[in-house]
Amino acid sequence: MAVYTEVTDEELAAFVAAYDIGGVLSLKGIAEGVENSNYLLHTDAGYFILTLYEKRVEEADLPFFLGLMEHLSARGITCPLPVKNRAGAALGRLAGRPAVIVTFLEGMWVRRPDARQCGMVGEALGRLHVAGSDFAGRRANALSVQGWPPLLHAVEGRADEITAGLGELVAQELAHLERVWPRGLPEGVIHADLFPDNVFFLSGQLSGLIDFYFACTDAFAYDLAICLNAWCFEADASFNITKGMALLDGYERVRVLRDEEVAALPTLARGAALRFLLTRTVDWLNRAPGALVKPKDPMEYVKKLRFHQRVEQARDYGLNR
């Protein structure tokens, strides 16, 4: 939940006047997204999301993110579409911050996804990978294997405050993954953060994908490994193979995995677990006591990582071959 930057009515009216969307009727700060300030904006032309980019998003990356949303949208992926002002620009400035207006997506994210929803997410991820394959933009994944050592160094001495042995666990896992991390897998644009709160459903159907601010160029199968982590475990950290099967089947209805991707899946799943374990550990150790934004529990990813360490083949995730 996040509204970090306040917008005055005068500033907003001046900003919106540059667009063909009528006058402002209301603006409500919304409690979503931890990286940016998000507002629900109602104008004569309808409802929009107004996003002000805070410091954690690199301004130089914004053309990649906005261009990607336009590209995917034009290829039938339901995602927020940046609205251009009369000068043809999607990116503006408001209250001293880079700012965009994007279209509003209906739907709600599901707190307890079922196997059917996992299947729809797998399919949507496949469509996203295919639709993004001719996108010209490139952005390195700052949170892949070469980005993990700085995170490890940031927490190494204090990780054991969370649970005894955590520092050792992540250090050993990182050393292992650096040795075996797969190279040369099919790659392209990946979402890299397709958790349940970034997928909307409406009337039982997947109605849209949001939050492309971790999107980057990386292995498609790594994105799938992130989704296995995010969608297919139960609250008690047990892996639900029915959900795994549904997710992988859904994905392969759109894009069939190559043999080398299948072989790499357990390693990629360990890497994805380590990536979220590391960032959650950083956030946990740096949390403000009593802050309203409760950092997510790193222990969830300790358990997921331990599960993946015992996995030998993609079949253990429910892959049908």
**235 interacts with its own copies by CB under 8 A:** no
Could you tell me the CA-to-CA distances from 138 to 65, 89, 189, 211 in Å, in that order?
Answer: 10, 20, 8, 17
Q: How far is the CB of 103 from its own copies (least distance, A)?
A: 13
Q: Quick check: helix, strand or coil at residue 97?
A: strand
Contact between 64 and its own copies by CB under 8 A: the answer reads no
Size of the site for its own copies (CB under 8 A): 41
Of the listed pieces 22-30, 133-141, 256-264, 267-275, which binds its own copies according to CB under 8 A? 22-30
Q: Tell which residue, 240, 245, 217, 232, has the closest CA to residue 314.
A: 245
Token pair in block for residue 184: 């040369």
Q: Compute CA distances 120 → 113, 205, 209, whole Å.
A: 10, 8, 12
**CB closer to its own copies, 13 vs 74:** 13
Which residue in 226, 230, 222, 215 sits closest to 260, CA to CA? 222
Pick from 81, 85, 41: nearest CA to 212: 81
- Pick one of 74, 89, 108, 175: the residue that binds its own copies (CB under 8 A): 108
Instruction: State phi, psi for 88 to the nearest 5 degrees.
Output: 85, 10
Of 14 and 175, the one with the shorter C-beta distance to its own copies is: 14
Span near its own copies by CB under 8 A; candidates 7-15, 83-91, 168-176, 299-307: 7-15
According to CB under 8 A, which one of 30, 62, 154, 171 is a site residue for its own copies? 30
Which spans of this chain sit near its own copies (rule: CB under 8 A)? 1-3, 6, 8-10, 12, 23-32, 40, 42, 47, 104-112, 200-203, 287-293
